Amino acid sequence: MTDSLNSLGFNRPPAETRVVVAMSGGVDSSVTAALLKEEGYDVVGITLQLYDHGVAVQKKGSCCAGQDIHDARRVAEALGIPHYVLDYESRFKEQVMEEFADSYIKGETPIPCVRCNQTVKFKDLLSTARDLGADCMATGHYVQRVVADDGQAYLSRGLDMGKDQSYFLFATTREQIDFLRFPLGHMDKDTTRKHAERFGLSVADKPDSQDICFVPEGRYVDVIERLRPGALEPGEIVDIDGNVLGMHEGIIKYTVGQRRGLGVGGTEEPLYVVKLDPAKKQVIVGPKEALTTSEIGVKDVNWVAGDVPADGLDVTVKIRSTRPGVPARLYLEDGRARLVLQDAEAGVSPGQAAVFYNGDRVLGGGWIDRAVSADPRLAA
């Protein structure tokens, strides 16, 4: 027995520490497995079959497992670690894909990667890792797990701000954070690729995926139509005063903030989608300034950072993974949050995530279900 903690925080030699690595077939999770194997840990790789790749790309003869599973298997063989492929198709379809489709039909802008982490990966897969006798589970996410002086672990932004994935992990619970490890959190992508080359991994030059895994080439409308036949219901395109400007084929083809492809013209200034009304089947358009939001309502909040005073807490909130955070006052009650933004923010849409930070530390987050427009005509 060693007198000090190993790199994963356990008071035993690496060889006596079992770690399950979630291997997606990409360079990040492959390097995670390789680094842990190099340190001498008892590494087990697991890859999830989440969807039928042939159906997703709509090409006959496509490998149903997809290239990613093949790549993960090759890496595991090269590293000499056990590797399992688990069929999670049915639960992924039910917990992620079905909700993705329903969210768009309701006029929302969903983020299925968060739901996948929240359900399939950090709930179902984490449970499987425990069943395999793992001491922890490691992933290739660019986020840092920090243990505070009181022994409580929390999530912090990844060192590489350009790759930071903390936004997508806001729903991770305290219990899950205790079990999870993120070996790449203190690295940048260039360093990760150099490790991949050093290990001679077959995926060293594999490009990062730019699409939602089950929405190849970004054609989400095709996926929704397949899951929800008849979802394309026509309706009116109206301005913020209710004047009809044209017709649309279905609100699922539009997102808040969209400017191109609206199908209306002849106005003096550019028009943007400022709101979607699924009950009336209306796409509401207006000038850019009508996109601004002054207050946000958030449901299903996962809060991991102690009590919030009754008079609120100053936080930084991110409402898009690609946008910097903005200052806000947060009020928390009964699993809901109300955010009063210091400066109005543009393009806030129900269905997006709102993630709360104190500096680099993730305090929690939830799902936007209310965006109060700074324009009084849309504030209701």
What does the pLDDT look like over 108-121, one tens digit per residue? 888 999 999 988 89
Question: Of 63, 64, 113, 116, which one is the catalytic site residue?
Answer: 116
Residues 14-218: name the CATH superfamily: HUPs (3.40.50.620)
Q: Is the pLDDT of residue 293 over 50?
A: yes
- The span from the CA of 23 to the CA of 65, in Å, is 14
Q: Which of 63, 113, 136, 213 is catalytic?
A: 213
In the prediction, which pLDDT does 63 show?
Answer: 38
The confidence score (pLDDT) of residue 378 equals 66
pLDDT confidence bin for 157, thresholds 50/70/90: very high
Average confidence (pLDDT) over 247-267:
84
136 is catalytic: no
Enumerate the domain spans of the chain: 14-218, 232-286, 290-373
Pairing of strands 42-49, 83-87: parallel
* Statement: residue 270 has pLDDT above 50: yes
Rounded Cα distance, 115 and 31, in Å = 24
Q: What is the pLDDT of residue 61?
A: 37
Is there a contact between 164 and 143 (Cβ–Cβ < 8 Å)? yes
116 is catalytic: yes
User: Which of 54-58, 66-70, 321-325, 354-358 has the highest average model confidence (pLDDT)?
Assistant: 354-358
Distance CA 103, CA 350 (A): 9
pTM for the model: 0.89
Q: Are 83 and 73 in contact (CB under 8 A)?
A: yes
* Topology (CATH) of 290-373: Elongation Factor Tu (Ef-tu); domain 3 (2.40.30)
Level-2 CATH architecture, domain 232-286: Roll (2.30)
